[in-house]
Amino acid sequence: MTCILQLGPLTERFNRGLAAEHEVLALWEPGADALLDSHAQRIEIVVTSARFGCNAALIERLPNLRAIVSFGVGYDAIDVAAARARGIPVSNTPDVLNDCVADLAFGLVIDCARKMSRADRFVRAGEWPSGGLPLGTRVSGKRLGIVGLGRIGEAVAKRSNGFDMQVRYHNRRPVEGSPYGYEASLIEMARWSDFLVLACPGGDATRHLVSREVLDALGPKGILVNVSRGSVVDEPALVEALLEGRLGGAGLDVYAHEPKVPQALLDLPNVVLLPHIGSATEETRLAMEELLFANLRAFLECGELLTTV
């Protein structure tokens, strides 16, 4: 039996399935950390997720580690460079989550513009009989800027077709053959956009890509939607821009220090806050589990992961 180190719990179904086929050391269980040293020589695979990651210190502790298999597409929490330096391949679960993350991003665009969550709070609070809500913003026909026209960004752009929107995108390089307009300057694209949707990876290369200047370019009527990573946005600058009315609103699924959400955001009416649920549907989570298992089996049977990062 292969000895696997699982860094954090996924669904009950997944945890049971993994433990049925392999010897699993579940790192979150009491006493597991102490067992890690005695098992370190035998651990061949680390199973983790975008949330639990895998740092260089842990990789170093496992002399016979052969692969890191992760649940989720983002791998900014995994030290891929440290793994590569030891020749350890890393897999993720791309593509199967594109639709659900893009649906959620588009939901945030509509919710922020049409004040749906705010209207729901208004009705529940019994305020309807005594007044009205401020008017919302039209979504159809507007300008959508996408930061990161990759797998998820493409799916967001596709959804915008049904809303007759104009689409531009900002990547480091233009996408060959894309029907959407490329913007080399993020600030220029933010100035042009009514809605700015972030769908790029997290990590050092994109840290605070959305700066105070970008937020100011998006402006007092602009809406920021973030389904990428909290690190991509300068969060204190975002809070300031919202408090000072320099930004119209924001729909956030991700934050700088999850699960902490700045109090100022909780207090603002023009912000929609979700607890990192981009891929959190029954169908997509099952597909992600299946892809993780497929990677694991392929590696154990043929020595190759299917979807390496």
Residues acting as catalytic residues: 229, 258, 276
Q: Write the CB contacts of 28 (distance below 8 Å, at least 6 apart in sequence).
A: 7, 8, 9
Q: Which residue has 């790192």 as its token pair? A: 27
| φ, ψ at 106 (rounded to 5°) | -70, -35
Peptide bond into 259 cis (omega under 30): yes
3-state secondary structure of 261: coil
Specify the residue, 46 or 186, whose C-beta has the smaller distance to ligand NAP.
186
Residues 173-192 that bind ligand NAP (CB under 6 A): 173
Q: Write the CB contacts of 16 (distance below 8 Å, at least 6 apart in sequence).
A: none
> Does residue 8 bind ligand NAP (CB under 6 A)?
no
Binding mask 213-252 for ligand NAP (x = CB under 6 A): --------------xxx-----------------------
Specify the residue, 234 or 253, whose C-beta has the smaller distance to ligand NAP.
253
Distance CA 63, CA 44 (A): 9
> Does residue 172 bind ligand NAP (CB under 6 A)?
yes
Which of 145, 148, 230, 248 binds ligand NAP (CB under 6 A)? It is 148
> Does residue 278 bind ligand NAP (CB under 6 A)?
yes
Q: Which of 255, 238, 144 is nearest to 196 (CA)?
A: 144
Distance CA 149, CA 170 (A): 7
Which of 150, 178, 188, 191 binds ligand NAP (CB under 6 A)? It is 150
Residues 201-220 that bind ligand NAP (CB under 6 A): 201-202, 205-206, 209
Residues 13-72 that bind ligand NAP (CB under 6 A): none
Alpha-carbon Rg for the chain, nearest whole angstrom, is 21
How far is the CA of 269 from the CAs of 1, 236, 248, in angstroms?
54, 17, 11
Q: Which helix (H) or strand (E) holds 2?
A: none
Count of residues that bind ligand NAP according to CB under 6 A: 31
Specify the residue, 193 or 206, whose C-beta has the smaller distance to ligand NAP.
206
Specify the residue, 199 or 305, whose C-beta has the smaller distance to ligand NAP.
199
Which of 46, 59, 149, 190 binds ligand NAP (CB under 6 A)? It is 149
Distance CA 23, CA 36 (A): 13
Which of 254, 271, 287, 292 binds ligand NAP (CB under 6 A)? It is 254
Contact residues for ligand NAP, defined by CB under 6 A: 73-74, 94, 97, 101, 147-153, 170-173, 199-202, 205-206, 209, 227-229, 253-254, 276, 278-279
